[in-house]
Structure 1
Amino acid sequence: MTQFNFNVDMDVIKEELIGSNLNATIKSSIILILNQMMEQERDEYLKSSSYERTGDRVDYRNGYYERDYMLSIGKITLKVPRSRNGKFSPSLFERYQRTDQALIATMVEMVVQGVSTRKVTQAVVKLCGENVSKSFVSSLTERLDPFVKEWSSRSLVGKEYPYIYTDALYIKVREYQKVVSKAVYIAVGVNEDHKREIIGFHITHDETKAGWESFFESLQSRGLLSPKLVISDAHKGLKAAIHEAFTGSSWQRCTVHFKRNIFSALPKKETETFRSLVKDIFTRQTQKEARALYQEIASNYEGQKKYENALNKLEEGLEDAIQYMSEQKSYHPLLRSTNNLERLNSEVRRREGVIRIFPNQQSAFRLIGAVLKDYDELRLCKRKYLPET
């Protein structure tokens, strides 16, 4: 019997399907591919093909069941293979739909709690393909909440993260019949394999020193060791918490935020040369070279009133902004700012924007946690971030 082998990239398939107008023949082809993919996945799980006798077999086939699967083109029905012990589950329904399930659960929770609008209800129907019940929300919540909690509290013992990036973003949550702002703390570490990993996130009332200290303490209780370098913006509470929590670690001030802060103290006109010189500081390879250029700038512009505030800001923050220069030169462009968190934050914003106002903090934890875990698994862990030495 001929055996078909398919190498299917689900991300590519989903992107290609979005917005498509597929006819019945092409839709049937997609069903054939997905069914075959799940069949091969079951073979890999069982460590055995159909009718194959092997001592490595871990379980037996137990037929199929039908399950609907939502695509942007509409609902399709797949034949899902199962195993006798019931432990086999195709990644099609788990790995690639966790975030969508969390989004659906949160949106339906809004409907259940009576804080939704007509548009929210329509969005739920569009995502699910049909009206959903309260029991549907409960089943998703029961399945997703422990999954997100386990990932967010996983042990970090035995791991080293020489470089840690941290930032906060704000969301809106309904609390005691009021809409309040909440801060979401996120920490991304670069591990010994030079790959990024989301090591933690936390939702709290606002961005304060006490809040950051609590977040860092939770990371340390899970086994996080002090890194060589912590990269962040210059929020006073965050800066103070880093110095207290990570003894012996250096703090790298994000150079993008730093330059923006300096330039905000300048007139908009006729300061191009000064701005260019300040930018050149962060192209230098060593701290000695950076300090020498700063001295040159200070000497040339000293006494000129329109540059006074900018020079003060530059002098005050220079040392914290050039700490990355102590690391390997090939790492410099990747260690001097928190730009790598911007893509992550935008992914959270993309999903959070559908909700706009979370019905409660637990629903925010569920959705943001699912987004971060999927992003961590599907993007960050796939490739090295820092070049090899």
Structure 2
Amino acid sequence: MSRKNESTQKAAMREMMKNYLKDTNTNVRDGTDVKNVMRDMMSVLLEGALDGELDESLGYSKYDYKNKETDNSRNGHSNKTMHTSYGDMNLAVPQDRNGEYEPQIVKKYQNTVTQDMEEKIISMYAKGMTTSDIESHMQNLYGLEISDSTISRITDKIMPLVKEWQERPLAEVYAVVFMDAIHYHVRCDGHIVKRAVYIALGIDMDGHKDVLGMYVGENESAKYWLSIMNGLKNRGAEDILIACVDGLSGFPQAIEAVYPQTEIQQCIIHQIRSSTKYVSYKDIKALMADLKLVYAAPTEETALAELDHFKETWIVNILKFINPGMKNGLF
């Protein structure tokens, strides 16, 4: 975009920078000088925004005592060091006499401009980075030196919260519980390995959804699901009306061992996939269309009628696909 079409705000910013560079005799010779200028600009903008926040909180602007309708007032500034991508920046944060003002643009315990540093570290840790990787990353990106022990202290903060969530009490009865495993590649001991994350999603009797638990295992197995079922019951889930699962071998038996009255509903998609294994590729679209009439039927009677039609149409073809030597319905 040409300068003729630039916004009024950008034109004013350009004029301000021109005057700043002229009045301060600042010479911008390299990237370091640019960073210093950007840091100063950021400091001025944030301090102005914070002053505006305090004006809004108090209900009157500075020296506008005629509109003052509160016993609270300004009480100077406190100094705060912020970590930015342009280096450390000193920030003057305004204060009020009653201590009621809570900064929102730069929150009370925030120590970076873009986002809280601890959140960055926890995010990197959750993605599988080692403490030494995080230390190197923070040094290269932000110029901050953070020790392994500091990073471990920060990440250890979330472990009690995770444990509390994993062991929290559950509702006594769930209308539906969906259970499945998602497979991820993660870093483990310096290697990328595949892990299964078991997820149980419940819908209670009021219709509210809740993730009942997430568990990490090496491979999905019915035996591991059995231990999860026992864990759910120990946390207070006495009954599950309907359990929705995939076609994993032994899965229904694992559920019945803990919840014998639970109705097992296997995922339609998995059942359809199992059916298509026995059909030639050229017939899959037609078979899927006929199967849809069964699963999408508005009533049980209609579904049974469509199922009979499906059997008449496809059973012989499926058997022929399994055994090409079959003739006239006989082997």
Rg larger in 1 or in 2? 2
TM-score normalised to structure 2 length: 0.60
Matched, 1:273 2:293: no
How far is the alpha carbon of 1:294 from its aligned partner?
1.0
How far is the alpha carbon of 1:234 from its aligned partner?
1.0
Deviations 1:328-369 (A, max 9, x none): xxxxxxxxxxxxxxxxxxxxxxxxxxxxxxxxxxxxxxxxxx
Deviations 1:223-251 (A, max 9, x none): 11321111121111433312222221111
Query: What's the counterpart of residue 102 of structure 1?
Result: 122
How far is the alpha carbon of 1:125 from its aligned partner?
5.1
Matches within 5 A, 1:82-101: 100-101=120-121
Q: Which has the higher contact order (CA 8 A, sep 6+)?
A: 1
Runs of 5+ consecutive residues of structure 2 not aligned to the other structure: 1-37, 58-69, 323-331
Matches within 5 A, 1:220-299: 220-299=233-312
How far is the alpha carbon of 1:218 from its aligned partner?
1.3
Q: How many residues align?
A: 255
Deviations 1:159-218 (A, max 9, x none): 532111111123455667766543221111112332211111112232222211111111
How far is the alpha carbon of 1:74 from its aligned partner?
9.8
Matched, 1:134 2:134: no
CA distance in 1, matches of 2:128, 2:248: 36
CA distance in 2, matches of 1:160, 1:67: 52
CA distance in 1, matches of 2:220, 2:252: 11
Mapped contact 2:184–2:195 kept (Cα < 8 A): yes
What is the one-letter code of the residue matched to 2:304? R
Query: What's the counterpart of residue 154 of structure 1?
Result: 168
CA distance in 1, matches of 2:304, 2:88: 62
What is the one-letter code of the residue matched to 1:229? I
With over 3 angstroms needed to count, the CA separation of the structure-2 counterparts of 1:271 and 1:178, relative to structure 1, is closer
Matched, 1:182 2:199: no
Runs of 5+ consecutive residues of structure 1 not aligned to the other structure: 1-22, 41-49, 53-62, 310-389
With over 3 angstroms needed to count, the CA separation of the structure-2 counterparts of 1:108 and 1:214, relative to structure 1, is closer
CA distance in 2, matches of 1:194, 1:254: 20
Give the 3-state SS of the residue equivalent to 2:216 in structure 1. Answer: strand
Match of 1:32 among 12, 31, 49: 49
CA distance in 2, matches of 1:298, 1:213: 35
How far is the alpha carbon of 1:81 from its aligned partner?
8.7
Give the 3-state SS of the residue equivalent to 2:144 in structure 1. Answer: coil
How far is the alpha carbon of 1:137 from its aligned partner?
0.9
Give the 3-state SS of the residue equivalent to 2:178 in structure 1. Answer: strand
How far is the alpha carbon of 1:51 from its aligned partner?
5.2
Mapped contact 2:81–2:88 kept (Cα < 8 A): no
More helix by share: 1
Mapped contact 1:231–1:251 kept (Cα < 8 A): yes
